Amino acid sequence: MTDHTFDLVILGGGSGGYAAALRAAELGQSVALIEKDKVGGTCLHRGCIPTKALLHAAEVADTARDASAIGIRATFEGVDPAGVRSYREGIVAKKFKGLEGLVKARGITVVSGEGRLEAGPAVRVGDDLYRGTDVILATGSYSRTLPGLEIGGRILTSEHALELDQIPRSVVILGGGVIGVEFASVWRSFGADVTIVEALEHLVPNEDVALSKGLERAFRRRGIQYSLGVRFQSATQTAESVTVTLEDGKLFTADYLLVAVGRGPATAGLGYEEAGVTVERGFVIADERLRTGVPHVWAVGDIVPGLQLAHRGFQQGIFVAEEIAGLSPVVIPDSHIPKVTYSHPEVASVGLTEAQAAEAHGTEGIVSYEYNLAGNGKSEILGTGGVVKVVRAKEGPVLGVHLIGDRVGELITEGQLAVGWEAHPEDIAPFVHAHPTQSEALGEAFLALAGKPLHAL
> Parallel, antiparallel, or unpaired: how do β-strands 251-254 and 242-246 relate?
antiparallel
CB-count exposure of residue 23 (10 Å: 0-12, 13-18, 19+): buried
435 assigned to active site:
yes
C-alpha to C-alpha distance for 96 and 109, rounded to whole angstroms: 16
Among 428, 325, 267, smallest CA distance to 25 is for 325
Active-site annotation holder among 160, 344, 435, 455: 435
Instruction: Please answer whether residues 418 and 398 qualify as being in contact, where contact means their C-beta atoms are separated by less than 8 angstroms.
Output: yes
Give the catalytic positions in this structure.
435
